[in-house]
Chains A and B, each alone.
Chain A
Amino acid sequence: MVMKLNKSIPRIMKERPSVYAGMIMLTFLSVLMFVLLALVAQNLYVSKEEYVRNNVREDLEFTSTTEIENSEEIENKFALTMESVPMTEYTFGSKTLRLFSASQKVNIPAVLQGELPQAGEIALDPSFAKANDYYVGSTLEMNGKSYTISGIITLPNYAYILQKQGDFINDPTVFGLGLLSSEDMQESVKLYSVKYDETQDNIYEQAKPLKAYLNEQGVAIASWDYAKYNMKISLLDIEVTAIVICSALIPTIFMLITAFLIAIVQSRLIKSQSKIIGTLYAQGYRRKELITHYLCYPVIIAVFGSVLGGLAGMAALKPALAMMLGFFQMPVQNISYNPLYLLFGTILCCFIFSLGSFISLKKIFRRMPSELLRNDGKEKNINILERKINLSRLPFKTKFAVRERLRSIPNLIFTVIGVMIASMFILYGFAGDSSFASMLNPPESETFHHSIEYASTTPRTDPVPEGGETIAAWNMIPTKNFSDRFQLAGITDDAQLITLKDRSGSPLIVSGDMVVISAPMANRYGLAVGDTLSFIDVINDGEYELLITDIADVDKGDYVFMSLDGFDALMGWEQGSYNAIMATSPLELGEHAFKTKSAETMASDMKKYTALMRLFVYGICAVAFALGIIILYIIASISIDESKEQISLMKVFGYKSKEVSSMMLNSSRIFVVLGYLIGAPMGFATAKLLFIVLEYFDISLTATMKPLYYLVGFTIIMSTFEVAKTISTTKIDKLTLSEALKTQEE
């Protein structure tokens, strides 16, 4: 029925290319981001789950020099699977390879390329192979023997490769993993990997009987690590969780906001068609037919933008996944191009866009055709703002400019909301960047004053060189919050590099039986002075209770401070033992005993550690910036289109294009500023919200914003406004009187 009428659709779109192309572009970008991130998240999540399940990732591992003979009995007794593999390290030049033989039951290696090694062959992890230019078929010299690279592999217990506990990041040029055939494995320790048939949340409690049994049997346990607290295993879960949350939250918010914005534009465009609608309605078209026709516009924009955006998102999936997999190692067996996200994005856009148009049409059809025929979709009533505001004392040009803005309250709201959204997106990205920067270069702490930390793997009692200060620190787990961790620190009463204050600002000197808890930790667990804190040392199986005597005003972090002597007594260490030295400048220490952790190396490690997250935030910020420019451009285009007639008339009266542009467009500036003032804190709040969500998943970030970024954001917004204004001025220049008159006639 409305086929002939539909012919006008592409022509109307061609007449306002900037507006329609802008809407399609907005849809394209938001759906692209949504589909890409959703697919990345889905593929990473599914692949991770499959990897964990199919390759039987351990719940815990321990090393021992004792051969456990009754593995099968233990497996049956404790409902678990246990496998031992030989493990050794081989150092050649500056490089170290940690070598294993392939396991069969737990932590089964995933072959990414080639195959598992036979005698005389070796398989390497992808990062080490890439960084050192090894490939399948090339050879590696080890112990005077040449090994052929048989394949590239990953191990479930090394999804994130770290050489030592406490490391943040690995340098693949110097450390990697290798698999050898059992025939080629030299003398080595045994790495036992355990996977329970039914893993419980509190793996510590679950594993207690096993550990007790092994001790009873005289098994010498050299190390004992739970997967949950083993960063090389748990980081994969944390990163994937963070990506899934970011993918679910941010692009969906973006898509919803842009969809609502486009819905508003659609409804305005339909309103401008009131007279034609009135004509067709008067000539006998039914409401349903006209609604069907006018809903074609939002549906076309939604389908066109979403499908192209979705397909672009799908096309970008493979490189995006490859980039993500550079940060952690796991196989992605089958990339899923689940079309449901594209379908969802398209349906959501269709629905929201159409809703805007439908509401506008419903409003239009509330009026009789005769009214519609008299109306050209422009607001002719004098609104309350126009009526109430006294402009008589202002010069004419200012009065005109103010009237121009006040004429349409929806236009005002639209401008403010549009700028607000653009500002929000930009400031959200800046907040992300600022927060990461602040994490990498934290502001000077009022509690911690050291810049270098030397940590030891075992407790030490030797004297500390001048400039150094001893501390004993150990990670503990609160009994009631098994997923959390805090640091128990033993400090000397003359400590200078850690200074504590109570909540009133008075200094706290930790001595004797004092147990001082940091304020953030007290708040988190609702602890007060006089309460008892129960916690566990999962490494050594210690269970402790301490009576809280004070609360320290520490800006962030979960810490419990006690005297060094008290700490040593609690842990059963020799009095005066410490496991770290703090300093403000480098100390001369035996390198074999300590590892150095300076502010610089920490920052560098953290920068690498958070690279994936930052990449994610910057990507979103870049897309948001593009969205912002398009939004402002659409707003300016609509304003010009709606004021065509006035502009032409002003020209007829003798105004120059420049003067008209200035009167018509500059008056928006104040509302652009207003939009920014609302949007900027909202962008920051969005980042804060995201970080709060991430905190539930043990990813701790504090939202901060450099004041300079507010200025930069403001400059960007004003620049985009000026760009939009310049383009719009060109449009005004091109507008001739005859065009405006024709518009009136039509």
Chain B
Amino acid sequence: MFIEINDLCKSYHTGEIETVALKNASLSLEKGKTGVILGPSGSGKSTLMNILGGIDRADSGSVKVDGIEITVLSDDGLAEYRRAKVGFIFQSYNLIPHLTVAENIEVIENISKNPVPLDEVLKAVGISDKKERFPRELSGGEQQRVSIARAIVKNPDLLLCDELTGALDYVSALDVLSLIQNISRRFKTTVLIITHNAAIADMADLVWKLRNGEVLDTIVNNTPADAKEIVW
């Protein structure tokens, strides 16, 4: 298995109040497959993704990615792990406002061992003609494409997408999902999407339903739909 998560627990403390985000969550995913974690707000899906991506730490449990137990890694070890293996796509894009589209992507290309050529990435996400623009000069959908391009330029083994269509209109959302699917197929990238939109689950090989930090259900989808065909 490329991803193996076992009995993962995580709580947050605000003053004296304890909020349980994950309760013994377990899941696994093979390399090159697409997984979708479904759940409402506060179900723990973002926490799960953050721990998997090495940007947050678990209280207990085990997370193995490509054979690496990431829960035991130091901060620097986690940085190396993220650098080598993980690409992030955020709902709010998190682009660097003072860099152009091309430069936003080059920022990550620069630190990658085997980057995909910039032009190829720009072409793949369909924003070649906008590479000299600044983020504020783009629409939401276009900004999300830049965010995707930035995530895939390093040719990551694992692509983590946090509500990547949350801020987009339907047409743009389908475009972006289709793009992710194509990337996964083309680069054999393992993709994990977290969303509250159940329709997106149709394009996944595996779907996990989360509620109150617990994995309630795991659905195996032997015939994932083409992203373009998803309807909501």
CB neighbours of A370 from chain B (8 A): 50, 55-56
Q: How far is the CB of A12 from chain B (nearest CB, A)?
A: 5
The answer to whether A286 and B79 touch across the interface, beta carbons within 8 angstroms, is yes
Interface mask (B152-165 → A, CB under 8 Å = 1, otherwise 0): 00100000000000
The answer to whether A746 and B111 touch across the interface, beta carbons within 8 angstroms, is no
Known: A373-B55, A746-B135. A284 touches B82 (CB 8 A): yes
Nearest B residue to A10 via CB reads B98
Q: How far is the CB of B14 from chain A (nearest CB, A)?
A: 9
- Categorize the interface residue count of chain B: 35 or more
- Please tell me if A7 contacts chain B, counting CB pairs below 8 Å: yes
Tell which of B79, B98, B140, B143 touches A281, judged by Cβ atoms closer than 8 Å.
B79
Residues of chain A from 1 to 53 with CB closer than 8 A to chain B in the complex: 1-5, 7-8, 11-12, 15
CB neighbours of A3 from chain B (8 A): 110
Question: A373 CA to B49 CA in the complex, in Å?
Answer: 13
The answer to whether B88 and A282 touch across the interface, beta carbons within 8 angstroms, is yes
The answer to whether A275 and B94 touch across the interface, beta carbons within 8 angstroms, is yes
The answer to whether B98 and A287 touch across the interface, beta carbons within 8 angstroms, is no
Q: How far is the CB of A654 from chain B (nearest CB, A)?
A: 26
CB neighbours of B56 from chain A (8 A): 368-371
The answer to whether B98 and A282 touch across the interface, beta carbons within 8 angstroms, is no
Tell which of B50, B53, B76, B96 touches A286, judged by Cβ atoms closer than 8 Å.
B76
Interface of A is mostly: helix
Question: A464 CA to B140 CA in the complex, in Å?
Answer: 100
Known: A276-B94, A373-B94. A282 touches B107 (CB 8 A): no
The answer to whether A8 and B99 touch across the interface, beta carbons within 8 angstroms, is yes
Residues of chain B from 106 to 157 with CB closer than 8 A to chain A in the complex: 106-112, 135-136, 140, 143, 150-151, 154
The answer to whether A284 and B154 touch across the interface, beta carbons within 8 angstroms, is yes
Q: How far is the CB of A644 from chain B (nearest CB, A)?
A: 13
Tell which of B50, B79, B90, B99 touches A284, judged by Cβ atoms closer than 8 Å.
B79
The answer to whether A282 and B82 touch across the interface, beta carbons within 8 angstroms, is yes
Question: A365 CA to B50 CA in the complex, in Å?
Answer: 16
Known: A2-B110, A370-B56, A745-B93. A8 touches B98 (CB 8 A): yes
Residues of chain B from 25 to 57 with CB closer than 8 A to chain A in the complex: 50, 53, 55-57
Residues of chain A from 264 to 281 with CB closer than 8 A to chain B in the complex: 275-276, 278-281
Known: A2-B110, A287-B76, A746-B97. A373 touches B90 (CB 8 A): yes
- Please tell me if B87 contacts chain A, counting CB pairs below 8 Å: yes
Interface mask (A356-368 → B, CB under 8 Å = 1, otherwise 0): 0000000001001
Question: A2 CA to B111 CA in the complex, in Å?
Answer: 8
CB neighbours of A545 from chain B (8 A): none
Tell which of A11, A15, A285, A746 touches B79, judged by Cβ atoms closer than 8 Å.
A285
- Please tell me if B66 contacts chain A, counting CB pairs below 8 Å: no
Q: How far is the CB of A285 from chain B (nearest CB, A)?
A: 6
Question: A280 CA to B99 CA in the complex, in Å?
Answer: 13
The answer to whether A7 and B99 touch across the interface, beta carbons within 8 angstroms, is yes
CB neighbours of B7 from chain A (8 A): none
CB neighbours of A283 from chain B (8 A): 82-83, 87-88, 107-108, 150-151, 154
CB neighbours of A1 from chain B (8 A): 110-111
Residues of chain A from 237 to 286 with CB closer than 8 A to chain B in the complex: 275-276, 278-286
CB neighbours of A279 from chain B (8 A): 88, 90, 94, 96
The answer to whether A746 and B95 touch across the interface, beta carbons within 8 angstroms, is yes
Question: A59 CA to B87 CA in the complex, in Å?
Answer: 81
Question: A746 CA to B79 CA in the complex, in Å?
Answer: 23
The answer to whether A7 and B103 touch across the interface, beta carbons within 8 angstroms, is yes
Q: How far is the CB of A308 from chain B (nearest CB, A)?
A: 24
- Please tell me if A592 contacts chain B, counting CB pairs below 8 Å: no
Tell which of A11, A282, A287 touches B75, judged by Cβ atoms closer than 8 Å.
A287
Known: A282-B82, A283-B108, A284-B154. A4 touches B103 (CB 8 A): yes
Nearest A residue to B82 via CB reads A284
Most buried by A among B107, B110, B112: B107
Nearest A residue to B86 via CB reads A284
Q: How far is the CB of A337 from chain B (nearest CB, A)?
A: 38
CB neighbours of B88 from chain A (8 A): 279, 282-283
The answer to whether A282 and B55 touch across the interface, beta carbons within 8 angstroms, is yes
Nearest B residue to A371 via CB reads B56
CB neighbours of B96 from chain A (8 A): 5, 8, 276, 279-280
Q: How far is the CB of A273 from chain B (nearest CB, A)?
A: 9
Nearest B residue to A366 via CB reads B75
Question: A745 CA to B140 CA in the complex, in Å?
Answer: 9
- Please tell me if A289 contacts chain B, counting CB pairs below 8 Å: yes
CB neighbours of B182 from chain A (8 A): none
Q: How far is the CB of B37 from chain A (nearest CB, A)?
A: 15
Question: A3 CA to B79 CA in the complex, in Å?
Answer: 19
Interface mask (B13-25 → A, CB under 8 Å = 1, otherwise 0): 0000000000000
8 closest Cβ pairs, A-B complex: A284-B83, A369-B55, A11-B98, A8-B98, A370-B56, A370-B50, A279-B94, A4-B106
What are 22 of the A-B contact pairs (CB < 8 Å)? A4-B103, A4-B110, A5-B99, A7-B98, A8-B98, A275-B94, A278-B94, A279-B90, A279-B94, A279-B96, A280-B96, A280-B107, A281-B79, A282-B88, A284-B111, A286-B76, A286-B79, A365-B75, A368-B56, A369-B82, A370-B56, A745-B140
Q: Which B residues are closer than 8 A to A by beta carbons?
A: 50, 53, 55-57, 75-76, 79-80, 82-84, 86-88, 90, 92-99, 103, 106-112, 135-136, 140, 143, 150-151, 154
